Structure 1
Amino acid sequence: MALLSPERYFSRISSIDIQRDLMGAGFGHVLLDVDNTILSRATHDIPRDVGVWLGKARTAGVEFCLVSNNWHASVHQLAGVLDVPVVGKSCKPLPQGFLLGLAKVGGTRKNTVVVGDQLLTDVLGAHLVGLPVYMVQPLVEVDLPHTMALRNFERAVLGNRRPEPVSVVADDPSRQTP
């Protein structure tokens, strides 16, 4: 496992097929980044497709824990709204936030995947503790200044790698491969 290479790369979280890419791959637990993964930095809301996806995943039996570097009360409020555990101030990419998230969700390295939008926090941190990572493109281009600077490094590391195409999903015929 290359430290800065996600196992899978998707355009957004709702492009991850719950049955095939999570349950079928043995992942019943997800450590989930917040900002620009499920919560738009531009609007501070969860986009509709992301909310629907989270609901379907929970119905399918997926258990989530939010793991965020965010230290504001809003990340804990979001966890309350979603009714999931949270590790705030996680100091990603350091291991402790991921390990605490694993403990909170009751997962193991074999049945847990990290989903996030940044190479140097989500991907690197997960790989440092031996967890697989599904990287998603950020929901919007709006972000903190230091994160925007790191996006240039991410583009260089990812090179020509593009998100996987969206496939037809059995329970949603309106989603089709581009």
Structure 2
Amino acid sequence: MLNQFKPTWMIESIYTLMPDELKANGIKAILTDLDNTLIAWNNPSGTQELRQWLNEMKANQIPVIVVSNNNHKRVEKAVQRFDLPFVARALKPFKTGIQKALKEYQLQPDEVVMVGDQMLTDVLAANRMNIRSILVKPLTQTDAWNTRINRLMERKIQAQLMKKKNFKIQWRNHLDD
């Protein structure tokens, strides 16, 4: 049961993902959470680092698609300045949003990776869809009120995973570190 919360990779930040390492792992598109993964939940304007990363993905023809549990208005407002496609009300940890993204953008499960900062939503949804996942550290140390509950539960899950011999919390900068 705990394996459903286990990410494929754990990296410090989505911004350290490089096109060559994605392509080397057969990844043609990135599905990403929005808040505290792509942008800080309390800074929808994003950063220069985000813009540079998005430009690098675009230059290498790796689509970045936001798959968020937020409502349409919130996601649209956050991503319009970056011209990113999105799926709102994704209902993660259920399969709904990921299935919609795969169908709408004509992608296969083995061609994508789901990137997010939460095991209980992003990683679990990816594992339910049999797609690879990347758990990243949240961009900020604060969370919206509804995410704080998840963080508490995640700490308990991580503690249980640590008891298993085949799981170590090992944050990396790149997929193949």
Question: What amino acid maps onto 2:65 in structure 1?
Answer: C
Q: Distance in 2 between matches of 1:157 and 1:51?
A: 33
- Secondary structure in structure 2 of the residue aligned to 1:2: helix
Query: Does structure 2 retain, via aligned residues, the 8 Å contact 1:6–1:134?
Result: yes
Aligned ranges 1:53-132 → 2 under 5 Å: 53-132=53-132
- Relative distance call for 1:73 and 1:96 in structure 2 (3 A) is same
- Secondary structure in structure 1 of the residue aligned to 2:5: coil
Post-superposition Cα deviations, 1:21-47, rounded to whole Å, max 9, x if no partner, equal x11111011111101101112323312
* 5+ residue gaps, structure 2: 160-167
TM-superposed CA distance for 1:72, in Å, is 5.0
- Relative distance call for 1:166 and 1:66 in structure 2 (3 A) is closer
Q: CA RMSD in A?
A: 2.1
Post-superposition Cα deviations, 1:138-170, rounded to whole Å, max 9, x if no partner, equal 100121223112212223333461311469xxx
- Equivalences, count: 167
Post-superposition Cα deviations, 1:79-125, rounded to whole Å, max 9, x if no partner, equal 33222221111111111110001122221011111111111110001
Aligned ranges 1:1-178 → 2 under 5 Å: 2-20=3-21, 22-159=22-159, 161-165=169-173
Structure whose residues are more often helix by fraction: 2
TM-superposed CA distance for 1:75, in Å, is 0.8
Q: Distance in 1 between matches of 2:148 and 2:26?
A: 34
Question: What amino acid maps onto 1:34 in structure 2?
Answer: L
Post-superposition Cα deviations, 1:4-60, rounded to whole Å, max 9, x if no partner, equal 01000011111222211x111110111111011011123233122222111101111
Aligned-residue identity in percent = 26
Moved over 3 A (4+): none
* 5+ residue gaps, structure 1: 168-176
